[in-house]
Amino acid sequence: MEYIEDIIIRIFKESTNLMEVFVNENLPRIVKVVDVVSESLKSGKKIVLFGNGGSAADAQHIAAEFINRFGIERPPLPAIALTTDTSVITSISNDYDFSEIFAKQVRALGQEGDIAWAISTSGSSPNIVKAVEAAKKQGLVTISFTGKDGGKVAALADYNIHVPSNSVPRIQEMHIMAGHVICELVDYRLFRQPN
């Protein structure tokens, strides 16, 4: 029988081991995403984020970090999570289909040069795929955070940050870590780094 302490240590080791693999595989892509997000915000564009379940919570979390502040005092940065308006989500689901809940919002709110940031542990959710497709048609820059095999979203997005794991909790841990790193470095690029 495994002791609870052993299970806890095993979980933390899984996470730290995956973190090392994740950063080694994604470092150049994370740098590029920081550049792209910084340039988009600098030119007056916004970020729209979306995901399902825990990824919806991550979308809201990252939007809040941009709008309020992350680690330094600075002006608010325009970001919106498409997961928060229950009237919009339920009306689209009721009148059309759940697979349209983010795509219709992207078409309504997204403008050329904005960032569409999809978060999906599988990369295969139909509503995420349709939203990325809609964003690309409207000229938004698409970023995806994926796991497992990356799904269709990984191939569609302009920039994909992929977690090489099949464990949803470990994927989500890497997603929020990468989101925090991007927030911190966007702040650095826009407000701390000498021009």
> Whole-angstrom Cα distance, residue 12 to residue 188?
29
Give the pairing type, strands 79-81 and 115-120. unpaired
Q: At what angle do helices 168-187 and 4-42 cross, to 10 degrees?
A: 40
Helix (H, G, I), strand (E, B) or coil at 7: helix
Tell me what pLDDT residue 12 has. 97
Give the total number of structural domains in the chain: 1
Residue 164 has pLDDT above 90, yes or no: yes
Which amino acid, one-letter code, is at 160? Answer: N
The boundaries of the domain holding residue 52 are 4-192
Confidence grade of residue 1 (pLDDT, cut at 50, 70, 90) = confident
Neighbours of 3 (CB within 10 A): 8
Provide the whole-model pTM: 0.95
Tell me what pLDDT residue 195 has. 53
Mean pLDDT computed over every residue of the chain:
96
> Whole-angstrom Cα distance, residue 165 to residue 174?
10
Domain of residue 150, CATH code: 3.40.50.10490
